[in-house]
Amino acid sequence: MPDPLSLPRLRAVTRPIDAPEDPLLLASAEDPLVWMRRGEGMIGSGAEVLRIDVGEDGRLEAIADVWRAISAAAEVDDAVRLPGTGLVAFGAFAFDETSLAPSTLIVPSIVVGRRGGRAWMTRISRMDGPEPAAPDPLAYGPHWSATLGPGELDPAGHTAAVAAALEAIAAGEVEKVVIARDIAGTLPADADLRRLVRALAEGYPDTWAYAVDGIIGASPETLVTVSGGTVTARVLAGTRPRGANADEDTAITAELATTAKDLDEHRYAVQSVLTALEPHTSALVAAEQPFTLKLPNVWHLATDVEGTLANGDSALDMVRALHPTAAVAGTPTTDAIAAIRRIEPFDRGRYAGPVGWVDGDGDGEWAIALRCAQIGAPEGAHRPVTAHAGGGIVAGSQPEAELLETRVKFRPIVDALA
């Protein structure tokens, strides 16, 4: 954890601008910094003003405390005053605190945002440094495609892993555990990664399209949003592939909304969020019954949760309280994490970890890093890429159906990489 006494003092100046036609053209081609949904959001550009990497137990607590100290010392001149203006950091955190992947906050020198018909640019610098120049648009590089194949847990291995999870459930070790599998490959070292972000944003406009420090995806699941003292979360658990037509979709959603296995899986996920938020809120509500959420490739059971923060906690404090939810780990959480470490043969890295942004007031939007790929540094002519997909295992889960669910969940990122 960085020494608070050694942290730099930052200056952030936000001014309105004309909305750029394509904000992605202002992002880095090899390492884009993006948070977008339905054409709104933010692009980070320019040099990193500050980077915080934490790779030890308690990392989320450390990052929340460091960011609080940085924000308190910063000088902010914000003429726009919208969510995402002023001092902003983008973040991507590891799923497991024992992971070799760091949990990272990045403050770029330029943030370009668009929300509610208004656009802005924030220039961020160190107090003793020059104000950064506005970025120039950079045309997209050539089209490219990745080469992908089985990872450390192939389909047969995934079936065995689900069986091991069912044994743990039958033994009373856990009530639910989320088991993932991986695919891996390479892409060209000079690939313009903004093309991957654009494909996901255009193909899945109702998800959060994100790119932070090499993890790129389109998440349907909001972990938490904090804005002006209100905290909201959307819980997704219980999944079916989309049907071929409207009649099939109607039958699928009716089954999803009434099947005990899916309702149990969803109930565990909702309860884990309510339990985590309750100590931090003075009022907290959630619908009694989930609704079915339609995405281009799947249906999910979904429940929205909303509360009033009681003690001035920030978005990072809420991320720390909520992660990992039962939707990506299981129930009870500690036992489910232990089972995942035992059953899965890989380090998830930042897959299923929190990804999003936080501002100087402690507000922010965070999703769970799903439908994503983790892209490594260039190695000669190529860059390594790994993607994960998983599902919640409860009593009654069928290994064949769980494997099919991972194939459906892989589709967004695999199609975009192709």
pLDDT in tens, 315-340: 999 999 999 988 899 999 999 999 99
Name the pTM for this structure.
0.91
Query: Of residues 40, 175, 176, 344, which has the active-site annotation?
Result: 176
Least confident range of 13-27, 64-78, 223-237, 388-402: 223-237
Q: Alpha-carbon distance 205 to 217, whole Å?
A: 12
pLDDT in tens, 30-45: 999 999 999 999 999 9
- Average of pLDDT values for 186-193? 98
pLDDT at res. 40: 94
pLDDT at 83 over 60: yes
pLDDT in tens, 7-26: 889 999 999 999 999 999 99
pLDDT at res. 1: 47
pLDDT at res. 234: 87
Q: Using pLDDT thresholds of 50, 70 and 90, give the confidence band for residue 3.
A: low
pLDDT at 378 over 90: yes
What type of residue is 85? Answer: T
Beta bridge partners of 379: 382
Q: Alpha-carbon distance 204 to 268, whole Å?
A: 27
pLDDT in tens, 109-134: 999 999 999 999 999 999 988 999 99
Alpha carbon of 46 to those of 120, 198, 199, 215: distances in Å?
16, 19, 23, 18
Q: Alpha-carbon distance 29 to 168, whole Å?
A: 44
pLDDT at 75 over 80: yes
Share of the chain above pLDDT 70, in %: 98
Query: Of residues 40, 221, 344, 365, which has the active-site annotation?
Result: 221
pLDDT at 2 over 60: no
pLDDT at 381 over 90: yes
pLDDT at res. 57: 64
Answer yes or no: 176 catalytic.
yes
pLDDT at 102 over 70: yes
- Helix ranges restricted to H, 278-364: 315-322, 333-343
pLDDT in tens, 132-162: 999 999 999 999 999 999 999 999 999 999 9
Q: Any idea how long the chain is?
A: 418
**404-414 in b/e burial notation, b at 16+ Cβ within 10 A?**
ebbebbbbbbb
Between 375 and 235, where is the model more confident?
375
pLDDT at res. 119: 98
Answer yes or no: 221 catalytic.
yes
Closest CA to 272 of 386, 385, 176, 132: 176
pLDDT at 373 over 90: yes
Contact 32, 92 (CB under 8 A): no
Q: Using pLDDT thresholds of 50, 70 and 90, give the confidence band for residue 221.
A: confident
206: its two tokens: 């109702």
Beta bridge partners of 187: 383
